[in-house]
Amino acid sequence: MMRTRRLTKLVLGIAACVALPITASAQQGESHIGKLTGHADTGRQLYFRYCWGCHGFRGEGTGENWIPTGSFPDSPYLNIQPRNFVAAVFKCRSTPTGTLPLQQDLYNTLVRGVVNSNMPSWITLTSQNRADLIAFIMTFSARWKNDKPGDPITVPPEPKLTIEGIKHGQELYQKLECWKCHGPLGFGNGPSASTLTDSNDEPIRPFNFTAFSRFKCGSTNQDLYKIFMTGLDGTPMPSFADVVKPEEAWDLVHFLRTLQVELKSPELTLWESTKEGAQQVAASRVSGTPTGSGVKQ
Amino acid sequence: MYERGSELIKRRIAWAASALWLGFLLLAIVLGDSRSLIASPLPSVKVRALPAFARKYGMPCSSCHQGWPMLSPFGQAFKDNGYQMMNERDAPIFQQPAYWPVTFRITPTWHRENENRAQVDGPAGVSGNEASVTTHGFDWSGLDFHTGGTLAKNISFYVLPSSDNTGAFHFETVMARLDNLAGSSWFNLKFGKFELDNLLSEKRILTLSSISGVYTNYHFQPATENNGLNLAFPLFGFGIGDNQVGMELMGHSKDDRTRYSASVLSSNDGSPGLPTSRGYDGYFAFSQAFQVGSLGLQRIGAFDYIGQAPTYFQYTNGNNSGIPGNAAFGLPGTGIGNRSFYRAGLIGMFYIKKYDLTAMYFHSSDDKYLATGTPANAAFGTLPTGAQNATWNGALFESHYTYSPQLILIQRVELVRMSQQALPIVAGTPYTPGVSVPNASFGNEDVYTFAGRYYPFISSRAGFAFHGEYAFSHQVGTSPVTGQSLDFSSLLVGFDFAF
């Protein structure tokens, strides 16, 4: 009888030892994005079909196309290194700087891709596939177990577009020294541009506003607002949440839009209607024989 | 834990694939015999899988290919975008100056071919007998040189010089495409020689044997056609799987769920030099994909090829080999007396996690002049008594089990059923060209295929696959002497590689 009880306890103990980690890992191996629940085991299969070439077997961003520090000028296409999922530092977030992004932020990055990098849009995958991938990506870093994502920042309603707002944004561009990296006209050629490195000591280039219609973390005014209120973690682009007020941030958004001289926007149209704005836009616009790159060089 | 599990799984997959491949080889040796009388060369299979693209973008083959060369939905979108990732870095100006987007592909093979009723000499005289003929041995496929990519942002190209296995080259694809016209993915204009917008691409077929290196339904023509009775009749050859020459307007939604294409094509089955008529054909395709829970992406679509072909030449130029009684050569480009044909169908592509099934239904028709090889001009010939349009239906079921990006198993069934014979049916009488057929099922065809491909490595630099395949076809009443069923079988193993 005694022996049977001991045996029962032993079996139950072993069962508990086996079951508890399985249950725990099942919870850790899930993502929750809206109504979707992603599963890491499925995401793993997708990762090793689509992602490992760049992000590597261990998610460290050192896949077969990883390029050692300093060699990027020879490989311009891959000059933006793949994300290191072990470090779990993400550029595109709706959460304050230094915090983990929402799972929805990662999902949005998969949908959107990262312009001017090797990361394409994965919009052709199913939404379930994307949720599964995120569940697996989150298994690479203990941060997802130990930390919680930050509280998403609030994006206040966009104020009415005015000349005064654009001019105020222009002043902020000078005052906050955005020009030091992005250049006076937004070409990404400021005096500090050539010295910038990311958190892995890899050289990194500031965004060229004149060349692209999309930003790394979106294409809308709200996305742009979020970029400089959350910062792009892992890059020299800081968060200005503690420096500018929301209405000032919107003015900056409106001014930055005027730097995108090849993209028709209400901001550019309004800005060009002024003498000062027309002169600035004319100075930014380039002409010449096209190279076929699709962007102004 | 994942790493260790991954290694274990890899070893198991490698073992399973090796066993599968060796199994095919052993089976081939057991089944083979020494009656090697005729050679059945491999078809020149023009397939596309481009490590050149993988090298450009640094992505593994498995991103764009479910199992190369077959595209994944992501790969299909990449192709539809004009071989662009659409991340503002697609133009060649962003590449290394030395980068040249070229890939070659070839497949050394061992294969065994059998025909159950080949026409041979024997007691009944010259070519008056039938015999089962088997041959086997080591061989190789044709060679493809793929070059493709972007000339500039939103201007893409594809050029494919391709050879058969004797090294005789031709151009399989020569096209340039203006992508995303007016900034919209709904308008893309392709110009040149290219593959039709077939969702189940024959150029990316996963099977390589002499029977199943092409889709039977894509090339089927009734057995009564091209009978050689009237030499004034230009040969009529058409396959919806053949690359055609013309221009195509194609569009798709950003996520590639919705796709359409409309093409205007020369009526010459993709041949160079305007060899026949001045006619034009049209091809239209539409498909819609949708997501069903966690199963994956499902797609349904429809297509229609409306064509015409000449039945005689307006002008001739010289005599055919100077042999009295032979028809004169037709002057290229002067084919007239066009008669119509069409190929229409429905397609469904269904994914259930690792298993996927493609089902197609075909309905086709050839005009009675084309179907009986008769010039539509009384001066050259008259229609056989009782001739009518040939019509037939077809079905294709192809399924894959993609165990992992490294291992894919393939099964395919193709069925073709004549619904209306071009010639009158005279029961009990053997097929008489230009007169009658013995029964309503004359020329019906079934094809069964089983194959497996194991990719021992996946990278962005090169591709390699162990390939094993068995295919069997059965045609009703077409054996050359006795008019019995004609069966072919093909067993193939090979090393398929591209770099």
Q: What is the pLDDT of residues A225-254, one digit of tens each?
A: 999 899 999 999 999 999 999 999 999 999
> B467 with B451: CB under 8 angstroms?
yes
Q: Which residues of B touch A (CB under 8 A)?
A: 2-3, 6, 56-60, 62-63, 72-74, 76-77, 85-96, 151-155, 254-256, 291, 293-294, 296-297, 404-405, 459-461
Best probe of the A interface among B9, B56, B63, B287, by most A CBs < 10 A, is B63
A69: confidence class by pLDDT, cuts 50, 70, 90: low
Q: Which residue has the higher pLDDT, B478 or A13?
A: B478
Say yes or no to pLDDT of B376 above 80: yes
Closest residue of A to B99, CA-based?
A: A75
Could you give the C-alpha distances from B208 to A194, B21, B495, in angstroms and in order? Answer: 53, 15, 11
Asked if B306 and B281 touch (Cβ cutoff 8 Å), the reply is: yes
Q: Contact, B371 vs B225, CB < 8 A? A: yes
Q: A120 vs chain B: nearest CA distance in angstroms?
A: 6
Nearest CB among A54, A122, A292 relative to B58 is that of A54
What does the pLDDT look like over B80-115, one tens digit per residue?
999 999 988 899 888 878 888 899 999 999 999 999
Q: Which residues of B touch A115 (CB under 8 A)?
A: 87-88
Give the confidence band of B1 by pLDDT, cuts at 50, 70, 90.
Answer: very low
Judge whether B276 and B335 are in contact, CB under 8 Å: yes
Per-residue model confidence (pLDDT) at position B7: 53
User: How high does pLDDT run on average in chain A?
Assistant: 87
Task: Name residue B312's beta-bridge partners.
Answer: B336
pLDDT, mean of residues B400-427: 97
**pTM of the prediction?**
0.87
DSSP bridge pairs for B355: B352, B401
For residues B365 and B341, give the distance between their C-alpha atoms in angstroms, rounded to a whole number: 5
Please indicate whether, in this complex, the C-beta atoms of B154 and A294 are within 8 angstroms of each other: yes
Question: Of the ranges B141-145, B156-160, B214-218, B315-319, which one carries the lowest mean pLDDT score?
Answer: B315-319
Structure tokens at A213: 């219609």
Spell out which residues of chain B touch residue A127, defining contact as CB-CB under 8 Å.
Answer: 291
pLDDT tens-place string over residues B351-360: 998 999 999 9
Position A51, amino acid: C
pLDDT of A97 > 80? The answer is yes
Give the separation between CA B118 and CA A103, rounded to whole angstroms: 65
In this structure, chain B runs to a length of: 499
List the structure tokens of B330.
């037709």
Q: Which of B45-54, B93-102, B329-338, B399-408 has the lowest mean pLDDT?
A: B45-54
Nearest one of A100, A173, A112 to A137, comparing CA atoms: A100
Among B57, B93, B405, whose Cβ lies nearest the Cβ of A292?
B93
Shortest alpha-carbon distance between residue B74 and chain A (Å): 6
Closest CA to B78 of A120, A80, A292, A127: A120
Nearest of B362, B353, B243 to residue B298 by alpha carbon: B353
Contact (Cβ atoms closer than 8 angstroms) between residue B242 and residue B269: yes
Kind plus residue range of the DSSP H or E element containing B356: strand B355-366
- B152 CB neighbours in chain A (<8 A) are 290-294
Chain B residues within 8 A of A295 when measuring between CB atoms: 88, 153
Helix, strand or coil, per DSSP, at residue B499: coil
Residue B199 clears pLDDT 80, i.e. is over it: yes
CB contact under 8 A, A292 and B92: yes
Q: Is A171 exposed, middle or buried (0-12, 13-18, 19+ CB in 10 A)?
A: middle
Contact A50 B63 (CB under 8 A): yes
Tell me what pLDDT residue B129 has. 96
| b/e B328-350 (16+ beta carbons within 10 angstroms → b) | eebebbbbbbbbbbbbbbebebb
The pLDDT of A55-63, averaged and rounded, is 90
- Cβ-nearest to B155 among A75, A125, A292: A292
Averaged pLDDT, B283-290: 97
All domains of chain A in start order, with CATH: 30-146 (1.10.760.10), 163-284 (1.10.760)
Which residue type, as a one-letter code, is found at position A235?
T
Is B78 within 8 Å of B176 (Cβ atoms)?
no
Is the pLDDT at A22 greater than 50? The verdict is no
A73, closest residue in chain B (CA to CA): B96
Higher pLDDT, A10 or B172: B172
User: Exposed e or buried b for every residue in A191-225, given b needs 16+ CB within 10 A?
Assistant: eebeebebeeebbbbbbbbbbbebbbbbeebebbb
Average pLDDT over residues B407-419: 98
pLDDT of res. A260: 93
Q: Is the dihedral of CA A119, A125, A131, A133 positive or negative?
A: negative
Note whether A48 contacts B404, CB cutoff 8 Å.
yes
**Rounded to an integer, what distance in angstroms lies between the CA atom of residue B141 and that of residue B106?**
6
Q: How many CB pairs under 8 A join A and B?
A: 119
Query: Which DSSP category does B326 fall into?
Result: P
Question: What is the CB neighbour count within 10 angstroms for residue B169?
Answer: 14
**Distance in angstroms (rounded) separating the CA atoms of residues B188 and A248:** 43
Contacts of B161 (CB under 8 A, 6+ apart): B144, B145, B169, B170, B171, B172
How far apart (Å, rounded) are the C-alpha atoms in residues A297 and B51?
29
Contact A125 B74 (CB under 8 A): yes
Q: Do B73 and A124 touch (CB under 8 A)?
A: yes
- Tokens describing residue A297: 């060089």
**Confidence label for A20 from pLDDT (cuts 50, 70 and 90):** very low
**C-alpha distances out from residue B372 to B196, B221, B436, Å:** 27, 11, 10
pLDDT at residue B130, as a whole number: 96
Compare CB distances from A294 to B74, B91, B297 and report the shortest one's residue: B91
Residues of B in contact with A78 (CB under 8 A): 58
Q: Which residue did the predictor score with more confidence, A292 or B406?
A: B406
Q: Report the chain A residue with the minimal C-alpha distance to residue B7.
A: A57
Residue of A nearest to B461 (CA): A64
> Under a CB-based contact definition with an 8 Å cutoff, are residues B299 and B199 in contact?
yes
Cα separation, B328 vs B341, in Å, equals: 26
Domains and CATH numbers, chain B: 2-498 (2.40.160.10)
- Average model confidence (pLDDT) for chain B? 89
Q: Does the pLDDT of residue B173 top 70, yes or no?
A: yes
> Between chains, do A53 and B58 touch, taking CB under 8 Å as contact?
yes
Please give the residue of chain B at the shortest CA–CA distance from A112.
Answer: B87
* DSSP state letters, B139-192: EE---EEEEEEEEETTEEEEEEEEE-TT--EEEEEEEEEE-SGGG-TT-EEEEE
Mean pLDDT of B118-132: 95
Q: Looking at this predicted complex, what is its ipTM?
A: 0.86
SS3 label, residue B351: strand
> Quick check: B171 pLDDT over 60?
yes
| CB–CB contact B92 A53 (8 Å) | no
Residue B386 CB burial class (10 angstroms; 0-12, 13-18, ≥19): middle
The answer on pLDDT for B13 being more than 60 is no
Distance CA A89, CA A199 (A): 9
Residues of chain A with Cβ-Cβ distance to B455 below 8 Å are: none
pLDDT tens for B25-81 read 444 434 433 333 333 333 444 444 567 788 888 888 999 999 999 999 999 999 999
| Mean predicted confidence (pLDDT) in A256-283 | 93
Q: Which residue of A33, A77, A297 to mutate against B (max B Cβ within 10 Å)? A: A77
Position B242 pLDDT exceeds 50: yes
Residue B8's pLDDT band, with cuts at 50, 70 and 90, is low
Q: Are strands B312-313 and B296-309 parallel, antiparallel or unpaired?
A: unpaired
> Which of B153, B255, B296 lies nearest to residue A293, judging by beta carbons?
B153
Q: Both ends of chain A: CA-CA distance in Å?
A: 85
The chain B residue lying nearest A216, using CA atoms, is B87
Tokens 């044909």 belong to: B341
* Cα diameter, chain A: 98
Tokens of B79: 């192709």
**B170 vs B147: CA distance, rounded Å:** 14
Q: Distance (Å, rounded) from C-alpha A56 to C-alpha B439?
A: 62
Distance CA B299, CA B283 (A): 19
DSSP one-letter string for B7-34: HHHHHHHHHHHHHHHHHHHHHHHHH--S
The whole-angstrom distance between A33's CA and the closest CA on chain B is 14
Calpha distance B137→B110 (Å, rounded): 5
- Residue B271 pLDDT > 60, yes or no? yes
Check pLDDT > 60 for residue B145.
yes
Nearest residue on chain B to A82, alpha-carbon basis: B58
pLDDT greater than 60 at residue B21: no
Cα gap B229→B431, rounded to integer Å:
14
Q: Which two tokens stand for residue A205?
A: 């280039």
Q: How far apart are the first and last CA of chain B?
A: 33
* pLDDT attached to residue B27: 44
pLDDT at B228: 84
* Contact across the interface for A53 and B59, Cβ inside 8 Å: yes
Residue numbers in A near B60 (CB within 8 A): 49-50, 52-53, 64
Sequence-separated (6 or more) residues with CB below 8 Å from residue A164: none
Nearest-CB residue to A115 (from B87, B155, B297): B87
From CA B221, how far away is CA B445, in angstroms rounded?
A: 11
Q: Which of B1, B180, B146 is nearest to B69 (CA)?
A: B146
Cα B495 to Cα B455: distance, rounded to the nearest angstrom: 10
User: Are the beta carbons of B297 and A126 separated by less than 8 Å?
Assistant: yes
Distance CA B472, CA A78 (A): 47
Q: Is the pLDDT of residue A40 over 90?
A: yes
Place of tokens 């090169």: B462
Residues of B within 8 A of A120 (CB-CB) are 57, 85-87
How many residues would you count in chain A? 297
Give, in order, the Cα–Cα distances in Å from A284 to each of A171, A180, A211, A278.
Answer: 18, 17, 10, 10
Alpha-carbon distance of A249 to A173, in angstroms, equals 10
